[in-house]
Structure 1
């Protein structure tokens, strides 16, 4: 179960909303031709937070983050894209997320967090007893800020889903 993102232009977002089947096929095409996390986050069209998505959601919710960057804000399809329907963030929400991520350090995000809390909350993937568990989350969280920042600078929206 992985958290996935695809940067899309306004025209691509409009088409995705109008034709979710096209959107799914487009995502599959991009994922087959582009390597996920193989380029710098500022240059990437797609990004994964791997299995850290749930921990990231937990930490951001705990910090009262203003946008749901893990699950998205708007549903545009009822079709299951792996683990539920895909959602999206419009360009304004991407911009707000980018600005908020730029002001948020991971160290602040995990301050006063005990990995046992993640176990108690049954945060996927339930390996929080490992000594470097939160550092593993940092690895997947770190690309979000530059990825969202680049999308915001380009005026792009974001498709968001779990697969």
Structure 2
């Protein structure tokens, strides 16, 4: 598993289809991603969003006692063939909870007590300067994910979550 997390806003019908058809899930995500690559919508306008530095984001949110697992998803999608991938999703209610919690959580508070050397010791990054760059980038990811999930919550949407 890599260090990227991908998100896709889903209607109720799309969520039901994804639960039963892994090929459609993959193709649908690809279609949306490719369709949005040309004009790169802001996170609040996008149906697809991705962040990197999955392990760092997970660590920061866990330390903050975040109420929803927005990095791994909450509900697994069970496919008979495990090679279909590791898909999870957030219900519309979980998306709303996460959006509200992210909006209330200052990113500076998340990164303030994380020393880049600690991230090197845990094996996340090869050196302190690289770790410091990723901590700075965490602000961008926090803001983008806040916008993306906030828009999904306003629309009453579920969100598909999977790691690459």
TM-score of the pair, normalised by structure 1: 0.88
Where does the alignment leave 5 or more consecutive residues of structure 2 unmatched?
none
Alignment of structure 1 residues 30-69 onto 2, 5 Å: 30-35=32-37, 38-50=40-52, 52-69=53-70
Alignment of structure 1 residues 10-159 onto 2, 5 Å: 10-35=12-37, 38-50=40-52, 52-78=53-79, 79-80=82-83, 84-123=85-124, 126-127=125-126, 129-130=128-129, 131-159=132-160
Q: How many angstroms apart in 2 are the aligned matches of 1:65 and 1:36? A: 33
**The structure with more helix, counted as a fraction of residues:** 2
Displacement of 1:35 in angstroms is 1.6
Distance 1:66 1:36, change over 3 A: farther
Q: How many angstroms apart in 1 are the aligned matches of 2:123 and 2:88? A: 24
**The structure with more strand, counted as a fraction of residues:** 1
Please, what is the CA RMSD of the aligned residues? 1.9
Distance 1:36 1:94, change over 3 A: farther
